[in-house]
Structure 1
């Protein structure tokens, strides 16, 4: 007997809605053809024809993509050469695909720290920033006795990733190190600035900066694209910046972009960052590409932790190495 659902020969043999229902059950809900036949009150042979017709009419589109093997070691080497860095550590998990970008980069960041050669008494300085904050919550290598201190003073912002002392505490706890906190605002007023630099607790931190063997640094995205920047930074003053590291803003060429009062920053200077033997920047995502390239060009760091898509984007950008 002719199937009641069949349409005239000049048109589709089945109704579009029936084709859609069968395709949804099979391709989306993973029902078997036998289960679909039971639910639709028809035979398995008819279900097979429904699925074939759905594909023929474009209701179902199947895309077969040939896998492309990414040689991460070769890619890391190419990016390191292009940026003038000593090492690039790649995560195969895209930062933008993770709920917390720093968590996606954390294993690669942990590997970079493990390879930094830090021993008891060495100094590790850590910056603020969401990515570093999220890395600090993940598994990090055991580095017993390493001293950890912030790169920048406290910032008047409710977001946890601006609280450098808290990030310092978390990193120290993860690695089994000892924290030294910085009890000073990132940008004090003119009168307070001079007094803070003479304060024993602040001088203890600035002395550790001079001894730092390793830095773990976040890279800020262009100010115009961010949900927040430090309250003491007038956004109009840094409109030409593509990013910042430790509240030092820079343009696409890696040149400083000053803002009012930046001479009072309680933070590691660009000159000091350039002298640190192992400077590890941790950043990923399309909005960070220009900032990473410019920060490397300016010599703020000599190692990079990022993901494969960001690394590929950096090569596409046509970056050049750090200034000499």
Structure 2
């Protein structure tokens, strides 16, 4: 709404004419040339009068949100959690409905915001990221320079191939060059991790992580989904027990954090082959795609810890995050 301070207040007769012109244009849809002809005014004066009608408050702009658009909640999320951006999507139910809606919302957001020269890091496993990439349109010109895998595959060999497929497909759609991490996401001991991190092929990939402009990640809860358990991609029960004892509630790129978003120091963390917390937090745009009631604690902690600064989530989750004390 425009402020009326400092605007000369027209007399009553002038106000009547301003209101008449404003109604003809805004309510009746009459074009300016015809208004000028009917009222014996110049078209330039009609244009000035329409602007003046706004200045004095006769015409006020009201933005009405279309169904399914939640800009008010997105603004509140940004303010409450210090986010760069937020996207809230409608869902029809739970499970596959949430996954589908998040995938569509993320695909649309990436399509609009990847505009050229990006170096994108992408985590190796996330149902929501797979859903998003499956729904992304192919860009007619390259908008990404490189798509870099930032965590090794986790689980059996068949599941680890999902990491390669995710990276390859995203690169294909955006015109970027895929850069794969030739290593598992989790190894048996910290010593094995150190040895693998010193391998030349792994080191070459590590060298790109400090140059990332964007990181596209899922947000995981400590308790794996049934799909992850069936796939063999879940964290082992012994590791879950250790992480739970240390207060972990969720993870981004297998870096687990507590309910305040602080990194949990664990033997599990020392066995992960992937981007470190420090490296991830240095990426300018950290886009987290996650929703569903099961992930509330993990998502809220990820926001509190700054693990993501752009959130794409569902309506119920957005409202719950805003209701939190």
Normalized against structure 1, the TM-score is what? 0.69
Q: Does 1:132 align with 2:138?
A: no
Which residue does 1:78 correspond to in 2? 76
Counterpart of 1:236?
241
Q: Does 1:149 align with 2:145?
A: no
Map residues 309-320 of structure 1 onto 2, 5 A cutoff. Answer: 309-318=316-325
Checking the alignment, whether the CA contact within 8 Å between 2:102 and 2:132 is kept in structure 1 is: yes
Distance change in 2, residues 1:141/1:294 (3 Å):
farther
In angstroms, what is the RMSD of aligned CA positions?
A: 2.6
Partner of 1:187: 186
Gaps of 5+ in 1: 1-67, 319-324
1:245 matched to 2:241? The reply is no
Cα 1:112–1:141 change in 2 (3 A) is farther
Q: 2:282 aligns with which of 268, 275, 284?
A: 275
Return the offset for 1:285. Answer: 0.9
Specify the alignment match of 2:219 in structure 1: 219
2-structure distance, mates of 1:277, 1:183 = 25
**1:131/1:158 Cα in 2 relative to 1: closer, same or farther (>3 Å)?**
farther
1:294 alignment counterpart: 301
In 1, Cα distance between the equivalents of 2:119 and 2:237?
A: 28
**Deviation per CA, 1:74-130, whole angstroms, max 9, x where unpaired?**
111001111110110121235x5362643211232123323445524x311111221
Deviation at 1:232, TM superposition (A): 8.4
> How far off is 1:296 after superposition?
1.1
How far did residue 305 of structure 1 move? 0.5
Q: Is the Cα–Cα contact under 8 Å of residues 184 and 202 in structure 1 kept in the other structure?
A: yes
What's the CA shift for 1:158? Answer: 6.7
Cα distance in 2 for partners of 1:287, 1:162 equals 26
Superposition deviation, residue 277 in structure 1: 1.0
Please tell me whether the aligned partners of residues 110 and 141 of structure 1 are also in contact (alpha carbons under 8 angstroms): no
What corresponds to 2:119 in structure 1? 123
- In the alignment, structure 2 segments of 5+ residues that lack a partner are 1-65
Q: Which residue of 2 aligns with 1:41?
A: none
Label 1:200 to 1:169 Cα distance change in 2 as closer, same or farther (>3 A).
same
- 1:11-67 C-alpha deviation (Å, 9 max, x unpaired): xxxxxxxxxxxxxxxxxxxxxxxxxxxxxxxxxxxxxxxxxxxxxxxxxxxxxxxxx
**Residues 98, 232 of structure 1: alpha-carbon distance in 2 compared, 3 angstrom cutoff:** closer
Q: Secondary structure at 2:220's aligned position in 1?
A: coil
Report if the CA contact (8 A) 1:153-1:267 is conserved. yes
Closer, same or farther: CA 193–141 of 1 in aligned 2, 3 Å: same
Aligned residue for 1:179, secondary structure, equals strand
The offset of 1:161, in angstroms, is: 7.9
Instruction: Please report how far the alpha carbon of residue 257 of structure 1 lies from its aligned counterpart in structure 2 after TM superposition.
Output: 2.5
Query: What are the Cα deviations for residues 226-284 of structure 1, in whole angstroms up to 9, with x where unaligned?
Result: 65323486111122322111001111111223332422321111111111111100001
In the alignment, is the contact (CA less than 8 A) between 1:187 and 1:232 conserved in 2? no
Where 2:197 maps in the other structure, the secondary structure is helix
* Change beyond 3 A, Cα 1:180–1:139: same
Distance change in 2, residues 1:178/1:214 (3 Å): same
Tell which structure's C-alpha radius of gyration is larger. 1
Once the two structures are TM-superposed, the CA of residue 167 in structure 1 deviates from its matched residue by 1.3
TM-score, structure 2 as length reference: 0.69
